[in-house]
Structure 1
Amino acid sequence: MTHLETSQLIQRLQLLQSRLCEMASDLGNLTDPEIVAVSEEADRLIVQLQRLRKEEAEYRKMSSLCNMSLLPASQSTEEIGQQGRAFLSKYS
C-alpha cells in the first residue's frame, strides 16, 4: 500500500471518529446499532493501519540490513585479500 493510500485511510478514520462523536451526541446511546456499525468500521481501519505500519517497519529493517556493508569498515578488500593469501601460504 502506498503512502497516499495510508493517508486516505487515516483521513477516513478521522471522519469516522468525528461521525461517532456526532452520533453519540445525537443518539445518546453508545450501543445503538448505527454507532456500533461505525465503530466496527473504525476498528477495521485501525487494524489495517497497524498492519501497514508493521509491514513498513519490517521493510525498513530489511532494507537497512541489506544496505549494511559485509566487510568491516576498518579493513579494505585488499587487506582482507592479503590476510587470506598469508593464511593459505602458512597452511599450504
Structure 2
Amino acid sequence: METTQLIHRLQLLQRRLCEMANDLGNLTDPEIVAVSEEADRLIIQLQRLRKEEAEFKRASEGVPPVTLLPASQTTEEIGEQGRTLFAKHS
C-alpha cells in the first residue's frame, strides 16, 4: 500500500474510532480495541515507508545514513558530546 492510501485508510479508522467511542462509550470495548490496533499497525507501516523514502532520498543525494548509536562510541561519550547525561543502570 502506498503512502496516500495508508493515510486515507488511517483517517477512515480515526473517524470510525470516534464514532464507536461516542456510540459505545467504553474505550476498552473489544471492537474499539481491534480498530485501534489496526490503526496502530497502519501508523507503524506508514512510519516505515516514510523512513525508507527518507533513506532513499538521502542515498540519492549522497548523504550518509543516520545512526542513533555509532558502534565506536559509548552512550557516555555520545551524551558528553550532546551535553546530555545518560545514567547507566547495572
Compute the TM-score of the two structures, normalised by the length of structure 1.
0.66
* TM-score normalised according to structure 2 size: 0.67
Highest relative contact order (Cα 8 Å, sep 6+), 1 or 2?
Answer: 1
Corresponding residue for residue 45 of structure 2: 48
Pairing partner for 2:4 from 1, 4, 7: 7
The count of aligned residue pairs is 63
Question: Runs in 1 of length 4+ with deviation above 4 angstroms?
Answer: none
**2:13 paired with 1:32:** no
Bigger radius of gyration: 1
Deviation at 1:45, TM superposition (A): 0.1
Q: Does residue 16 of structure 1 match 2:13?
A: yes
Q: As a proportion of its length, which structure holds more helix? A: 1
| CA distance in structure 2 between the partners assigned to 1:39 and 1:57 by the alignment | 27
In 2, the alpha carbon distance for the partners of 1:9 and 1:62 equals 24
What's the RMSD between the two structures over aligned residues?
1.3
The alpha-carbon deviation at position 6 of structure 1 amounts to 1.1
- Structure 2, gaps ≥5 residues long: 64-90
Identity in percent: 81
CA–CA separation in structure 1 for the residues paired with 2:19 and 2:12: 11
Structure 1: gaps spanning 5 or more residues: 67-92
Q: Per the alignment, in what secondary structure is the counterpart of residue 61 of structure 2?
A: helix
In structure 1, how many angstroms separate the alpha carbons of the residues matched to 2:20 and 2:5? 22
